[in-house]
Amino acid sequence: MRSVAAPAQAVLAGPVVPMALLLDLAFDPPVRLCTGSVAISWAGNLYFGTGTLGAVEAVTDEVQSTQGLRFTLSGVPLDSIALALSEQVRGTGCVLRLVVLDPATHAVLDAPVIFTGTLDSMPISHGAEDCTIGVVAVHRGDTFRRPKPLRYTDGDQQRLHPGDTSLRYVLSQAQVQDRWPAAAYFRQ
């Protein structure tokens, strides 16, 4: 369940609701974009406006939904493609927020998170003078649903931390049947 601040709720109930999307990509250095035509400052970070060049797929907000998203940025100059290709994309975190702005001052009233996940792939389509960069993000629910490759065994513990023998007796102790005396034994 999401909560929205009271001033943002008042704006959402009004006739004019200025909104934008903020996209946080956890590259090094972080990439922060917004769907507005100007930059938006929020939480000490500056989100650069992409205007009509940036697009985000429709976000579905349903119970048990783990649908991924696709972000696209078009009109990218050909000389900037080398920068995009040099980044490691898979596994990079991303957060998408919906920003509710004040209609008079365009100050940020609230920015609840509407999608959290990790990036999976980055398809690039080339044009004559510019190209389009797409990024496919996987919902964090899908990431948590994947099987974990580690178990609580001595072999896995030794692989992660050589010399740590804390799980040496787990297997032998897991198969031991403990026998406790009857309650009458303690009343004597």
Q: Are residues 160 and 140 part of one domain?
A: no
Judgement on whether residues 141 and 160 belong to the same structural domain of the protein: no
- Co-location of 179 and 91 in the same domain: no
State the Cα torsion 32-34-40-45 to the nearest 10°. -20
pLDDT tens digit at each of 188 positions of the chain: 467 888 888 888 888 888 988 989 888 888 898 888 888 999 899 998 887 778 777 766 666 667 778 888 887 777 777 777 777 888 889 999 989 998 888 889 999 988 888 888 888 887 777 788 888 888 887 777 777 788 888 888 998 899 999 888 888 888 888 888 888 888 87
- For residues 37 and 99, membership in a common domain is answered with yes
Q: Are residues 16 and 48 in the same domain?
A: yes
Regarding whether 162 and 117 lie in a shared domain, the answer is no
Do 48 and 138 share a structural domain? Answer: yes
User: pLDDT at position 63, please?
Assistant: 63
Q: How far apart are CA 175 and CA 131, in angstroms?
A: 61
10 in the same domain as 66: yes
Q: 104 and 163: one domain?
A: no
Find, among 138, 20, 115, the residue nearest to 61 by Cα: 115
Query: Does residue 109 sit in the same domain as residue 141?
Result: yes
CATH, residue 66: 2.30.300
Q: 81: domain range?
A: 6-145
30-34 long-range contacts, CB within 8 A, separation 24+: 33/73, 34/99
102-137 tens-digit pLDDT: 888 888 999 998 888 888 888 888 777 778 888 888
Is 1 a domain residue?
Answer: no
> Chain-wide mean pLDDT for the chain?
83
Total number of domains constituting the chain: 2
Contact 34/48 with Cβ under 8 angstroms? yes
* Beta strands per DSSP E along the chain: 19-25, 31-34, 40-42, 45-49, 54-56, 69-77, 93-101, 108-110, 113-121, 124-126, 130-139
